[in-house]
Chains A and B, each alone.
Chain A
Amino acid sequence: DAGVIQSPRHEVTEMGQEVTLRCKPISGHNSLFWYRQTMMRGLELLIYFNNNVPIDDSGMPEDRFSAKMPNASFSTLKIQPSEPRDSAVYFCASRYDREVTEAFFGQGTRLTVV
C-alpha cells in the first residue's frame, strides 16, 4: 500500500477563496482523522470519521470548515471562505480501529492563505 495520500502537497490561495484538501486513507482502515498543525497550537484534531461517519467534529474551528467522507477510500476538508489565519499544515491520518492501533499519517498539505 502506498500509505495515506494527501493532495495537494502545497496550496497558496487568496483570502476569500474556497480551498479543498483531499485524502485517500490506507485500504482497509476504518477510521480517518483530519489534523491541523501550527507552531503555536501544535497538532489539533479537527474531525474524526469511523466507518465513513463523522463521529466527533468538536475541533472544527468554525462554520467555514466542513469535511466529508463519501466512501471508505476518500475524504475532503473544505474551507470556504479561507482566511490568512487558516494557514497551517493539514494532516490526514487513518487506522484500523480495534483496541490500540497506530495512526498512519499522510505527508500533509501546507496551506498558505494570502
Chain B
Amino acid sequence: TQLLEQSPQFLSIQEGENLTVYCNSSSVFSSLQWYRQEPGEGPVLLVTVVTGGEVKKLKRLTFQFGDARKDSSLHITAAQPGDTGLYLCAGEVIQGAQKLVFGQGTRLTINP
C-alpha cells in the first residue's frame, strides 16, 4: 500500500497549457517536499512546505500544502518543454523515526 498517492501518474500536454499534479494521503505529515528527477539521475529538491495551507511559488510552479497536512498540489502555469520530467512528492512521517517516504511520481511530458 502506497502511503502517498500521486495523480495523474502520466501526463502529456502541449506547451503553454496549465496543469496540476496531486499528492494525497490519509496520513498527516510534518512537512512535504516536491522533487524533480531527470533520466539517469537522482531526485532533486524543488520545494519544502511545512505549514498547513502554505503556498510557495517557484517561477511558474505553485506548490500548496493542504490545511490538514495530508495532501499537496503542484500547479504549473504555461508549461514549457523544459518542464518535462518525473515529479515526486515526499512526506516526512511524524511518528517514530523521521523518515522520508515518496509517492510513485508523475511523469510529465510537455510537447512543443
A residues contacting B by CB (< 8 A) are 4, 31, 33, 35, 41-45, 48, 50, 55-56, 91, 93, 97, 100, 102-108
Contact = CB atoms under 8 A, between A and B. Distances in A.
Interface of B: 2, 30-31, 33, 40-45, 48, 50, 88, 90, 92, 96-105
Q: In terms of DSSP, what is the predominant structure of the interface of chain A?
A: strand
Nearest to B98: A97
A93 B42 contact: yes
B100 A45 contact: yes
B80 to A, nearest CB: 24
Given A42-B2, A106-B42, A107-B42, 19 more contacts: A4-B42, A33-B100, A42-B103, A43-B88, A43-B102, A44-B102, A45-B99, A45-B101, A48-B99, A50-B97, A50-B98, A55-B97, A91-B43, A100-B30, A100-B31, A100-B50, A103-B45, A103-B100, A105-B43
A42 B102 contact: yes
Contacts of B2: 42
B52 to A, nearest CB: 14
